Amino acid sequence: MRFQRVVSSCLGLLLLVVFCNAFLGGSPAIAQSEATLYHFGGGTDGGAPEAGLIFDRQGNLYGSTSGGGIIGGCELGLGCGTVFELSPSTGGGWTLATLYTFQGGSDGAGPAGPLLMDVSGNLFGETLGGGHSGGNCLEAGCGTVFELSPDGSGGWVKQTLYMFQVVSDGNAPYGGLALDSAGNLYGTTIQGGGICSETKAGCGTAFELIPQAGGHWLEAIIHRFGSGRDGYAPAAGFAFDGKGNLVSSTALGGLTSANCPLGCGIVFELTLSGGQWQEQILHSFDFTDGSDPQATPVPDSAGNVYVTTYEGGSGLGGTVVELSPQPGATWWRPQVLHEFAFSAGVLPRVGAMLSGGNLYGVTEYGGNNAQPCRSDTDNGCGVVYEMSKTASGEWQYRVLYRFSGGQDGNYPVGVPVIDTLGNLYGTTLYRGQTLDTGTVFEVKP
């Protein structure tokens, strides 16, 4: 798949894990109703949505596809990607409108991270490729940050806010953007920041984009990764905690072991002090509690942070960990809430969404429906799950839906969103064996 091809070539990051059939953890699925709202064809409508969806105030859904659009260009000639809107139709069903089709080159290519909408209805996002090329950037370019604004006549106007450069600048933005009250944007890049000891492509950066007069934006690198026990290769975006600090994770770096020769990854916080951003490592994973966190952390109102790891734990297929601040200490106390294994879903690429005190998320693989998917080592086509607290304070995990790999799609890799009725909406990267297709789905309680 598109992201795994990129990261494998850049970092050697994502490893397929062969799971033992002895791990059968998790509770059985409850009866849920799943509906496929849209099937991507991989043509002008786009294909391979790698990110989740967002709602506007009218109940329309917005998302992006990493492929499709103008066929013949960009990676494998499968298109440079699109931004779309999915609107409920009168009498039932949903209608897709393509808001923008990426051209590649300086226009950007391969939007992969989640979109962000401001209070005025403008959409912000990132492309993994496109923009400037050369140096240690990907063949498709160093990546861009873009904005789509309604033109008042039913159309949308696209503006490239920033094109990442070569050498010391970041490149390959992926995890999505965060917006503060002053209108500044924050994000991370998987690579870049100058040559570090781990890779000539750079260990990654954290950046800020500041709006300027005349519609221009100024970029500032607020952290360069890869020093000592620092993490590197941040594939996650930022979340603001209750104090206005930026919290995120890196997929690699931190503690090393036989299971994590490049480091199991960290969770970190950036705090603004005296006009400078200071990094504090909140937790370094050691594989027993997880490794390879690619997910944006989720803060709660009590100051705790929930983090999902792609691998590690006793089931080898990732974990959900709660990090709690400790008075007077710089480290945060970790508590493993769930270890993913086999039939209950494995390898959650993205984090969970917190709603009503419950966590909702997806796993890229697992669910025990391996036959329709790519290989037996997949151990299934992915699941949608819920985690909720019991009266005793324990967290209970349950599978809400198992994908079959047929028309319902396979490999969900975007954080789901929830509506006021408790219905969950998300995307799958593929549909069957076909590259650059995918679906938009709804799971009803």
- The pLDDT of residue 137 is above 90: no
Mean pLDDT, rounded, for 209-224: 95
H/E/C letters for each residue in 291-332? ECCCCCCEECCCCCEEEEECEECCCCECEEEEEEECCCCCCE
What confidence tier does 209 reach under pLDDT thresholds 50, 70, 90? very high
What is the domain partition of the chain in residue ranges? 19-444
Q: How far apart are CA 40 and CA 440, in angstroms?
A: 8
Q: Do 203 and 233 touch, CB atoms closer than 8 A? A: yes
- Residue predicted with more confidence, 412 or 228: 412
Query: Percent of the chain scored above 90 by pLDDT?
Result: 73
- The pLDDT of residue 185 is above 50: yes
Give per-residue pLDDT as tens, 70-122.
Answer: 888 787 778 999 999 999 998 889 999 999 999 999 999 999 899 999 999 99
- pLDDT score at 234: 96
- pLDDT score at 370: 53
Q: How many CB atoms lie within 10 A of CB 283?
A: 24
- pLDDT score at 194: 81
B/e letters for 49-76, b = 16+ CB within 10 Å, e = fewer, are bbbbbbeeeeebbbbbbbbbbbbebbbe
In the three-class reduction of DSSP (H, G, I as helix; E, B as strand; rest coil), residue 5 is classed as helix
Work out the end-to-end distance of the chain between its first and last CA atoms, rounded to an integer number of angstroms.
30
Going by CATH, does the domain composed of 19-444 fall within 3.40.50.1100?
A: no
Lowest mean pLDDT among 202-216, 228-242, 364-378, 389-403: 364-378
- The pLDDT of residue 359 is above 50: yes
Mean pLDDT, rounded, for 128-135: 87
- Residue predicted with more confidence, 64 or 21: 64
User: For the chain, what is the mean pLDDT?
Assistant: 88
User: Which DSSP helix (H) or strand (E) runs through 178?
Assistant: strand 178-179
Q: How many CB atoms lie within 10 A of CB 31?
A: 7
Give per-residue pLDDT as tens, 298-340.
Answer: 999 999 999 999 999 998 899 999 999 998 888 899 999 999 9
What confidence tier does 372 reach under pLDDT thresholds 50, 70, 90? low
- pLDDT score at 28: 44
What confidence tier does 369 reach under pLDDT thresholds 50, 70, 90? low
Question: Which among 288-302, 356-370, 429-443 has the top mean pLDDT?
Answer: 288-302
- The pLDDT of residue 17 is above 70: no
Q: How many residues does the chain have?
A: 445
Q: How far apart are CA 66 and CA 436, in angstroms?
A: 8
- The pLDDT of residue 25 is above 50: no
- pLDDT score at 376: 59
- pLDDT score at 112: 87
- The pLDDT of residue 16 is above 60: no
- pLDDT score at 199: 80
- pLDDT score at 62: 98
Q: How many CB atoms lie within 10 A of CB 375?
A: 9
- pLDDT score at 9: 38
Mean pLDDT, rounded, for 247-272: 95
Q: Do 252 and 265 touch, CB atoms closer than 8 A? A: yes
- pLDDT score at 23: 33
Q: How far apart are CA 362 and CA 431, in angstroms?
A: 16
